[in-house]
Amino acid sequence: MKIERKTARALVLIAAAVASVALSACNTVRGVAKDVTKAADTLDPDKN
C-alpha cells in the first residue's frame, strides 16, 4: 500500500509536533519523576 506524499508529510509533521511538546514538557529527569508521581497519585484508588 503506497502512502501519498501529502499524507506522509502530514504524519511527519504531527510526529514532530508531538515529540516537541513531549520533550519540552519533561525536559529533566526530575521533571519526568514529578510527572510520573503525579500520574500515579491521581490513579491510586487507595489514596486518602
- The reported pLDDT for the residue numbered 5 is 84
Query: Whole-model pTM?
Result: 0.47
> Residue 18 falls within a domain, yes or no?
yes
- Look at residue 48 and tell me if it is in a domain: no
15 within some domain: yes
CB 38 within 8 A of CB 28: no
Q: Report the number of distinct structural domains present in the chain.
A: 1
Question: What pLDDT, on the 0 to 100 scale, is given for residue 47?
Answer: 66
- DSSP for 6-41, please give it: HHHHHHHHHHHHHHHHHHHHT-SHHHHHHHHHHHHH
Given this model, what pLDDT does residue 48 score?
Answer: 56
Provide the domain limits for residue 18.
Answer: 5-43
Give the pLDDT of residue 25. Answer: 65
Q: What is the mean pLDDT of each run of 10 residues along the chain (48 residues)?
A: 81 90 70 83 75
Beta-carbon count within 10 A of 26 CB: 14
